[in-house]
Amino acid sequence: MSLESQFFLLMKFVIPVYLLAFIIYAVRAFKGPTIVDIILAVDCLSFDVAAFMAILAVYFKSVYLVSGAIILALWAYLLDIYVAKYLVSREVGA
């Protein structure tokens, strides 16, 4: 069994799991009762997409997908810091 066929076999199981997680996170992001639930759902969505992009980058040997995954993960991290600062001090800014 070649590496590509193993990868495609693995993706047959991984993609439905990612889609299910994406749907669950999207529901939580739209129906979240608190801002913390919404931020956690968006954070999980961002990190899952970044991880999936990294997996695809390894398969396609693409530097652009890796850089996009890193930027997306950093954006999600900055969102967490920004919201945490807002929730602590109730003001956003410098």
- Model confidence over 25-68: pLDDT tens digits? 999 999 988 888 888 899 999 999 999 898 888 888 888 999 99
What pLDDT score does 91 carry? 64
Cα–Cα distance measured from residue 68 to residue 30, given in angstroms and rounded to the nearest whole number: 25
Answer yes or no: is pLDDT of 94 > 70: no
* Planar angle of CA 39, 34, 90, nearest 5 degrees: 75
Tokens of 75: 């954006």
What pLDDT score does 92 carry? 59
Single pTM value for the model: 0.78
Domain regions of the chain by residue span: 12-89
Cα–Cα distance measured from residue 93 to residue 60, given in angstroms and rounded to the nearest whole number: 40
Cα–Cα distance measured from residue 26 to residue 44, given in angstroms and rounded to the nearest whole number: 10
Cα–Cα distance measured from residue 27 to residue 65, given in angstroms and rounded to the nearest whole number: 27
